Amino acid sequence: MFHFECPPMPHFIHIGQDTYKIGRKHPDRNSIGVFDLLFVTRGCLYLAEGQHELVLPAGHFGILRPDLEHHTVSPCEEETHFFWLHFQTTGQWHPEPYEKEPLPPEQELLYPPIEYFSFYLPRSGPVQNLGVTEEQFRGLLELNQNPAGNSRWQEQQLFHAILLRLQEDSKEETAQSPHLQLAEDAALYLRKHYREPLSYKQMAEELHFHPNYIALCMKRTFGCTPLDYITQFRIEQAKRLLIHTNDAVGTIAEDTGFGSFPYFVRCFHKRTGKTPKQFRLMYRKA
């Protein structure tokens, strides 16, 4: 499974289709620099990425990484038709499971996008509605081959619709990765209750897991503890209020769940390198 941190969303680059006769093989390639999404409509492809074999029968899709070698395990045993689609992201991504460390405060963006979310895609899997998915691929192929004034915008929209459908089709696989689901549930809980004092006991009762396990899952998925996560989320809400309202800094500290004015100023300065007042003056007239 791939974990994409959004925004930005992955973006479409190019699409094509091919039909292999019996005995033909998919070309061997190494570190092509883009994700390669394959969708087989009939026949079967027999591939491998590194040591991981990837068998794609009709009605299945597979995603090859941009940074690894992939090759054919065996040639096609029957006539095989498939779509191929190249995409990439300028944001962070990593395969699951993956252990990552959070960025130190001095490397964080001063005013990053606030509504971060995770987008998961399986490496491979079946397509639930073959007809609809094939229609989407053909529609994207048509846009790509016959560009119009706004076709690039339409391509990206249709590409994201394809990704969403593949994600919806893979919900069962995501459910089989309990640490991912628990981390997302914990993050949602923290965002909903960020104005309240953080209570590990209450969070554990709400999610029905031990606080230590919740923290472990969040560390594994987001690279931070629940306290780090809610602190950063509170700061992003505070940035909004500092820029878009005339509320006093003390009021903003209270409204965003920090409670203590000195604690808010200390956390804000540690994360941004500026006091709340200095930050506000960057975007507002005195």
Residue 4 contacts residue 10 (beta carbons within 8 Å): yes
- Return the higher-pLDDT residue of 184 and 110: 184
Q: Which residues contact 273 (CB under 8 A, 6 or more apart)?
A: 105, 106, 110
Per-residue model confidence (pLDDT) at position 115:
56
Phi/psi for 146 (5° steps) reads -125, 70
- How far is residue 113 from each of residues 154, 189, 259, measured CA to CA in Å? 24, 20, 24
The Cα angle at residue 80 between residues 75 and 83, in degrees rounded to 5? 115
Over the stretch 94-138, which tens digit does the pLDDT of each residue have? 887 655 544 444 444 444 444 567 788 888 999 988 899 999 999
Q: How far is CA 84 from CA 26, 62, 140, 141, in A?
A: 11, 10, 11, 10
pLDDT of res. 168: 83
How would you classify the pairing of strands 69-72 and 44-49? Answer: antiparallel
Note whether 101 and 61 are within 8 A (CB).
no
- Tell me the mean pLDDT in the region 176-204: 88
Position 253 pLDDT exceeds 70 = yes
Q: Is residue 81 over pLDDT 80?
A: yes
Confidence of residue 172 (pLDDT cuts 50, 70, 90): low
pLDDT at 92: 83
User: What local confidence, expressed as pLDDT, does residue 183 receive?
Assistant: 87
| Residue 109 in tokens | 């963006």
Residue 6: pLDDT band (50, 70, 90) is confident
Rounded to 5°, the CA angle 121-126-130 comes to 110
- Per-residue pLDDT at 55 exceeds 50: yes
What average pLDDT score do residues 206-233 get? 90
Per-residue exposure over 19-52, b if at least 16 CB sit within 10 Å of its own CB, e if not: ebeeeeebeeeeeeeebbbbbbbebbbbbbbeee
Can you tell me the distance from the alpha carbon of 48 to that of 27, in angstroms, rounded to the nearest whole number?
A: 11
Q: Taken in order 213, 224, 262, 116, is the CA torsion positive or negative?
A: negative
Question: Which amino acid is located at 256 in the chain?
Answer: T
Q: Which pair of structure tokens corresponds to residue 185?
A: 């549930």
Q: What confidence score (pLDDT) does residue 116 get?
A: 65
Helices (H), the chain: 130-145, 151-169, 171-175, 178-192, 200-207, 211-222, 226-244, 249-255, 261-272, 276-283
pTM: 0.69
Q: What is the pLDDT of residue 160?
A: 96
pLDDT of residue 150: 87
Share of the chain above pLDDT 90, in %: 63
Whether 173 has a pLDDT exceeding 70, the answer reads: no
Structure tokens that stand for 271 in this block:
């994360």
- In the numeric block, the tokens 């094939």 are attached to 134
The pLDDT of residue 111 is: 41
Q: Does the pLDDT at position 45 exceed 70?
A: yes
Q: What is the pLDDT of residue 99?
A: 53
> Cα dist. 22→44, 77, 119 in Å?
10, 5, 37
Q: What percent of the chain has pLDDT over 70?
A: 89
